[in-house]
Amino acid sequence: MLASIWLQVVGDERQMLQSLIGSLAAQHGTVSFQPHLTVCGAADLDPSRWDAVADSVRQSGLLPLRVRKTGISHSTAVWSRAVVIDIEDGPAIGAYREEVSRIAGAVIQAAPHISLLYTVDDGGQRPDWAASGTRLRSIAEDCAARVAPSEFMLGDPVVVAPDGDWTNIRGWKVVRSL
């Protein structure tokens, strides 16, 4: 099953980030999504392993997990990292991601981050401006001024699967809470 395991932003910052993500999507003709940090994912994430992941999550006692923002960056190359909050890859988040990915049989695909803007529209296509480093840099600079918190709380782990492929953002569904 094509799926990813997420940690959702919890606490006071959740609503602030959700509003920012929604505003950016509306302003730039893209799609809004829930604020999260992708722990790991796989094209063939095996549902039979989810109970073991859930048990490990409960037993670890790590959640909720406080993570530190190191900056805000942008990418013209990866639609899902167009504008992101970079998160320090500290010992706690690193150990958590490694353990969950090992138990789930999934891979960690990127450094820890919380996305703010994806360059995918409602039809799953990249807007013309998505390759503009200048535009994305400007959006990232605006976000840096708007995202005051230096730390975020992550918790409420879930398994998310797309309807089709990942560019169908409106088709993303939580298929299991961990």
**Range 95-130 burial, b when 16+ CB lie within 10 A, else e:** ebbebbbebbebebeeebbbbbbbbbbeebebbeeb
Strands (E), 11-136: 36-42, 65-74, 83-87, 113-117
pLDDT over 90 (residue 169)? yes
E strand residue ranges, the chain: 3-10, 36-42, 65-74, 83-87, 113-117, 151-161, 173-177
Tell me if the bond preceding 64 is cis, omega within 30° of 0. yes
Which pLDDT tens digit goes with each residue over 88-140?
A: 999 999 999 999 999 999 999 999 999 999 999 989 999 999 999 999 999 99
Report helix, strand or coil for 168. coil
Distance, in Å, from the CA atom of 37 to the CA atom of 80, rounded to the nearest integer, reads 12
> pLDDT tens digit string along 1-27?
999 999 999 998 999 999 999 999 999
Angle among Cα 122, 127, 128 to the nearest 5 degrees reads 160
Statement: residue 60 has pLDDT above 90: no
Q: What is the pLDDT of residues 62-88, one digit of tens each?
A: 899 999 999 999 999 999 999 999 999
pTM of the full structure: 0.94
Percentage of the chain modeled with pLDDT above 90: 94
- pLDDT at site 95: 94
CATH of domain 3-177: 3.90.1140.10
Three-class DSSP category at 10: strand
Average pLDDT score over the chain: 95
Token duo for residue 54:
């859930």
